[in-house]
Amino acid sequence: MAFFFDVTRGARLLSPGLGRSLRPSWADAVALLLLAALAVLAVHGVMRMRVPLAVLEARPMPLDLARLPFYALLTTLRMFAALAVSLVFTFVVGTLAARSRRAAALIVPALDILQSVPVLGFLSFTVSFFMGWFPGSQLGVECAAVFAIFTSQAWNMTFSFYQSLRTVPADLDEVARQFGFSRRQRFLRLDLPFAMPGLIWNTMMSMSGGWFFVVASEAITVGDTTVALPGIGSWLAQAIAQEDLRAIGWAVLAMAVVILLYDQLVFRPVVTWADKFRVELTAASSRPRSWVYALIRRTQWLRLPFALIGRLLQWLAEVGPRPAPRAPAVERPPGVLSRWLWRGAVAAVCGWAAWLLADFAVTHLSVAQVGQVLWLGCLTLLRVTVLLVLASLLWVPVGVWVGMRPAWAQRVQPVAQFLAAFPANVLFPFAVMAIVGWHLDPEVWLSPLMVLGTQWYILFNVIAGASAIPADLKEAAQVFGLRGWQRWRRLILPAILPFYVTGALTAAGGSWNASIVAESISWGERHLQATGLGAYIAQATEQGDTVAVALGVIVMSVFVLGFTHLLWRPLYRVAERRFRVA
């Protein structure tokens, strides 16, 4: 595979040059109308986000069906704003973790802990901070909501990008070193294009994950004051509080329409464009298609900005010192002084954290209380493990089948996005009525709610991994007559393992997060609870017991870190060493 990707290649293919005829066509008219409509909607939504906070608090949000499209617009704007911040975070943090072992030693465990912290945990510390930036304005609460949605999107995207950069084919990495690429040139010409297919599928999953936590992000409580930002999340929260199944149904329908629209207008064209960056020597038999992508390809005026972007990226990739061929760099081990300084800094941080935890435990906790919470953590760990195994057995074969058939991937994509975006809160009434009506055990039947929104991380990552299998490897497997289990063992499982580990790791962290919602649910005056760490944290939060909440979050973080380092990190290392495309 002695060739290089180039992120500018996609822009040049989309718009071959600036010197072509600029006479407008019917495609320009349609595309400009679409862009104008989207711009007007975005400006209208942003302007309505700048009202005084007192007006928002004094005006309760009505469940008026005529306002639902406007609420859907505001929620979508918050989602895409959080997605933009998540992409910037992914490129910076993911690249730093992949390129520096020292940075990865801190970044990767930090991401493991952050993805296990509940969205409500972030809100409790950030709402006052953002409201201080914009006193008396709705913008402060808007920033807090966007940050909360960001915390439900960024970790999955960062893990995906990190995994892709750690599994860049060895021959491409060697050629990049020989050509003397700078860090910027390597990022634009190799890292970003290679990671693009998997990153896009995980971006879609993160977008859906934001919908899953949109209720907690838009219905915000600060002290004794509750602020409900206009949006689908607040609509759902109010409809659930009023036990209004009709309003819940309209909200779910609005979500489905919005997901279908941005799938067709944004994600489907991007998936079609990113297919150009797959690692392969032979052409694939079928490619994903998008009517929006085809429309842009037919335009004359609209291709001009794409051409300018392509030229700008090309200039950024080429500016700097002239590349000079060189031998592959040999990574030098750090010096003794540098190594001991680094170890001392890490030991100091760990010692300080241990001292704080010890002081907290001695001052506020008893041995019996800590033992009880550890036992509750073991029960939740058992639920998470069983659910991940069942979800893997179900969705890995489905994801492989879909990913290796681009035509089916296009059909499944919007359906999977909608199912992944389906908030667990919507199913609370049906779960309560089913468990009470059929006399089921809440300890068992509340558990599926934990994996409802997180199992799709496995599906989306497996689809991305299967769709990224080079066509020449598929043809080679066919020529050698690989079938059945031998084909899975020799081709499919090695190809999807890095992607599966990313999806399962994120699904595990998300399941711990979702346990706070799923192990203790209410519908009207009926309340069901399962024994576990999630229910303990939810109950402590409701009672305002900050010590119990802190203990629960610390124990949850310890369990997540332990599970990650005993299972997921070794699997990551195996995938990096043995199952990269080479």
Q: How far apart (Å, rounded) are the C-alpha atoms in residues 166 and 573?
A: 9
pLDDT at 414: 73
pLDDT at 360: 63
What would the pLDDT profile of 375-408 be if each residue is shown by its tens digit?
999 999 999 999 999 999 999 999 899 888 877 7
List the one residue out of 252, 174, 229 whose CA is nearest residue 56: 229
pLDDT surpasses 50 at 160: yes
Instruction: Give the Cα separation of 206 and 212 in Å (integer).
Output: 10
pLDDT per residue as tens digits for the range 81-107: 999 999 999 999 999 988 887 788 778
Q: pLDDT at position 83, please?
A: 92
Classify residue 244 as left (phi > 0), alpha (psi -120 to 50) or beta: beta
Tell me the pLDDT band of 345, cut-offs 50, 70 and 90. Answer: low
Whole-number Cα distances in Å, 119 to 34, 69, 122, 213: 35, 26, 5, 8
Question: Nearest CA to 537 among 558, 514, 559, 560?
Answer: 514
Indicate whether 113 pLDDT > 50.
yes
For Cα atoms 269, 272, 274, give the angle at the middle one, nearest 5 degrees. 105
pTM assigned to the model: 0.73
Name the 3-class secondary structure at 106: helix
Phi-psi region of 60 (alpha: psi -120 to 50; beta: other; left: phi over 0): beta
Provide the token pair at 233: 């999340």
Alpha helices in 3-49 (DSSP H): 7-14, 26-48
571-572-577-578 Cα dihedral, nearest 10 degrees = 50
Q: What is the pLDDT of residue 350?
A: 65
Q: Which of 499, 500, 534, 503 is nearest to 520 (CA)?
A: 534
Q: Amino acid letter at 301?
A: W
Q: If you average pLDDT over residues 111-127, what whole number do you get?
A: 67
**Any idea which residue has 């038999």 for tokens?**
285
User: Please, which pLDDT band fits residue 336 given cuts at 50, 70 and 90?
Assistant: low
How many Å apart are CA 415 and CA 252, to the nearest integer? 13
Spatial CA neighbour of 571 closest among 509, 497, 464 = 497
CB atoms within 10 A of CB 378: 13
Structure-token pair, residue 12? 């040049």
Question: Closest by alpha carbon to 188, among 443, 458, 6, 426?
Answer: 6
Residue 114's pLDDT band (cuts 50, 70, 90): confident
Largest CA distance in the chain: 78
What is the average pLDDT score of the chain?
Answer: 77
Average pLDDT over residues 437-461: 82
- pLDDT above 90 covers a percentage of the chain that reads 6
Most confident segment among 52-66, 100-114, 281-295, 484-498:
484-498
